[in-house]
Amino acid sequence: DGGITQSPKYLFRKEGQNVTLSCEQNLNHDAMYWYRQDPGQGLRLIYYSQIVNDFQKGDIAEGYSVSREKKESFPLTVTSAQKNPTAFYLCASSFKTSGVYEQYFGPGTRLTVT
Amino acid sequence: AQSVTQLGSHVSVSEGALVLLRCNYSSSVPPYLFWYVQYPNQGLQLLLKYTSAATLVKGINGFEAEFKKSETSFHLTKPSAHMSDAAEYFCAVQTGANNLFFGTGTRLTVIP
């Protein structure tokens, strides 16, 4: 089945540790995205990548890093510099149809940092 | 810059009643608009999208939305609510960089 997988579903880390969230897609989509979701704030864009080996900062990139070495994979690292990392993280990929970029989402990773 | 505003962070309806979730947009160019649904601890699922082909857009699960340029609105409706419709709903607009700007969401509760 085609889709987007994120692992793990739940992740716990101690403050001061870096942590990497996995995102893989087999939809052959060129573009991939990372969002952060907090209660009452909707989704906010962290980073996006439109092609391999290229990515751009979104609205809240500070304290995060990404890589895009393969079309299928777009891992997100939450660094110790991120002041409030506890959140629900969503990965998405998109393709263009009828002039519109339609985004598809993975199931998410809930990160808790204590 | 494009943006969306969702009116009402919580909406409650009785089972079988009309569902109306409000979304207003701000855009300097003809917008592409989307509605997504999110069930607890899951990702987002696309319900429907407006791409200027037709002002009344039909989506999955019996939902539809009407684009009204004069009111800068894209409200989501369903004639008869079902218990399985209880979820959080997000309106979004495609930005100039081909990204999505999301509203803050509306949580729908369906009362039996």
Q: B72: alpha, beta or left, given left = phi > 0 and alpha = psi -120 to 50?
A: left
pLDDT score of A2 more than 80: no
Contact criterion met (CB below 8 Å) for A60 and A83:
no
User: Which of B32, B49, B100 to substitute to test the interface with A, most A CBs within 10 Å?
Assistant: B100
Numbered residues of chain A with Cβ closer than 8 Å to any chain B Cβ: 4, 6, 31, 33, 40-45, 48, 50, 56, 58, 88, 90, 92, 94, 98-108, 110
Q: Which two three-digit tokens encode residue B54?
A: 């037709």
B 45-74: CB under 8 A from A: 45-46, 49, 51, 53
Model confidence pLDDT, tens digit, residues A22-50: 999 999 999 999 999 998 888 999 999 99
Over residues A7-32, the mean pLDDT reads 94
How is residue B5 written in tokens? Answer: 């505003």
Q: Please, are residues A58 and A46 in contact by the beta-carbon 8 Å criterion? A: yes
Two tokens, residue B31 = 């917008």
What contacts B8, CB < 8 A, 6 or more positions away? B21, B22, B106
- Predicted pLDDT at A98: 77
Quick check: B35 and A103 in contact, CB under 8 A? no
SS3 category, A1? coil
Q: What is the DSSP letter of B18?
A: P
Closest CA to A45 of A55, A53, A54: A55
What's the CA gap between B25 and B46, in Å, rounded? 18
Q: Report the pLDDT value the prediction gives residue A1, as an integer from 0 to 100.
A: 62
User: Using CB atoms, which residue from A42, A92, A98 is nearest to B103?
Assistant: A42
d(CA B40, CA B21): 18
DSSP A70: B
pLDDT per residue over A63-106, tens digit each?
999 999 999 999 999 999 898 999 999 999 998 887 788 899 99
pLDDT at position B48: 95
Tokens linked to B16:
């079988």
Q: How far is CA B107 from the centre of its chain?
A: 11
Instruction: Outline where chain A has alpha helix (H).
Output: none
Is pLDDT of A59 > 70?
A: yes
Low pLDDT (below 70) residues in chain B: 96-97
